[in-house]
Amino acid sequence: MKLSDVGEIGFLAAIRRYTGENAFVELGFGDDGAILKSGGRQGRFVVTTDLLVEETHFSLKFYRAFDLGEKAYEVNASDLAAMGAWPVASFLSIGAAPGLPLEFLTDFYKGFQRAGRRHGCVIAGGDTVRATKLIISVMMIGRYEKGSHPLLRSDARPAEHIYVTGWPGESGMGLWLLKKQRGTALMKKMQPLIRRHLLPKARVREGVALSHSRSTGAAIDVSDGLFSELNHIARMSRVHLCVEWEKLPVSLRLEKGCRPFGLDPRRMVLFGGEDYELLFTNALPLCDVEALFKKAGSRIPVHEIGHVEKGSGVKITDHEGRTLSLKDRTYQHFSTR
């Protein structure tokens, strides 16, 4: 059997038996990060890892080195945000070809370092190795503030509301433009969408605010697409997520970007990916969640898109309550399609 036969989910299921927990690992395999006990007054820490491979996760045709460094930081900090933790240290390992200019790598590190300053997160170590393609491996450590609790994918409960921050779909549209319209005059008008793809921002402040609220259920960051992340929460929480098609948030920028090409903006919201927004469930009504974010100093909008029920799976309904049949178009690792 090949990886392409089982996909990422099947691969992870196959290796799960080799993972475990002990006196120091409170939560291991299966979430956005692992929770470790420090054994002292500092309480618990979260550790997350991420791998970015040239021509799989990024193309050097689209990125300046500095921008790539910033994005490498933000996508890892986003995992900590989804766990409700604050980034404190990162370990950055690089695989690079001998012919890659040194200036490219130093600019990459500068970008990573500058992004980390937003949260006081420093580069504390790493490794280097020879490779045929640029490979970026990041391990990041986050801490929990006093009075907060870990956010998990498995904590959604029936009757909770489903929320998502920001404007998912804009990043996916930006990537579509880079691939399909690169070099055209239209690209200049679409720069805000393209920048949303190239330079995402981790919702750390919002994740930490949610970790202080006992009304928060499950949480995950939107990396592979909103529809994919909804299914992760439904599966790990063993609940049914009911999402209303008309409530999916469509920004004016996304609507204008999709229109010339006949693309459906709500499908881009569901399947676009690489938004690094937070998808979460919460017992509080929308106005109270907005107040929670405002108190934390956040200006990021938050949208209610549905609710949690008993059962399993994800259902998207129209304004009359009819279930829509949608083919999952999110990116699948190891797929040959």
* pLDDT tens-place string over residues 25-66: 666 666 567 777 765 545 788 999 999 999 888 999 899 999
**Residue intervals in the chain for CATH 3.90.650.10:** 161-317
DSSP string for residues in 214-277:
TTEEEEEE-SS-HHHHHHHHHHHHT-EEEEEGGGS---HHHHHHHGGGT--HHHHHHH------
Q: In the predicted model, is pLDDT for residue 227 greater than 90?
A: yes
Q: In the predicted model, is pLDDT for residue 327 greater than 80?
A: no
Q: From residue 37, give the alpha-carbon distance in Å to each of 28, 31, 327.
A: 11, 16, 41
Burial label for 327, CB within 10 Å (0-12, 13-18, 19+), is exposed
* pLDDT tens-place string over residues 109-121: 999 999 999 999 9
**Residue 154 pLDDT:** 95
**Residue intervals in the chain for CATH 3.30.1330.10:** 3-143
CATH number 3.30.1330.10 is the correct assignment for the domain at 3-143: yes
Residue 52's Cα: distance from chain center in Å?
Answer: 14
* pLDDT tens-place string over residues 214-225: 999 999 999 999
Residue 169's Cα: distance from chain center in Å?
Answer: 12
- pLDDT band, residue 333 (cuts 50/70/90): very low
Architecture field, domain 161-317: Alpha-Beta Complex (3.90)
* pLDDT tens-place string over residues 178-221: 988 766 667 778 999 999 999 999 999 999 999 999 999 999 99
SS3 for 291? Answer: helix
**Residue 188 pLDDT:** 77
- Listed as own residue / partner, the contacts of 287-294 with beta carbons closer than 8 Å and 24 or more positions apart are 289/161, 289/163, 292/209, 292/210, 292/213, 293/205, 293/206, 293/209
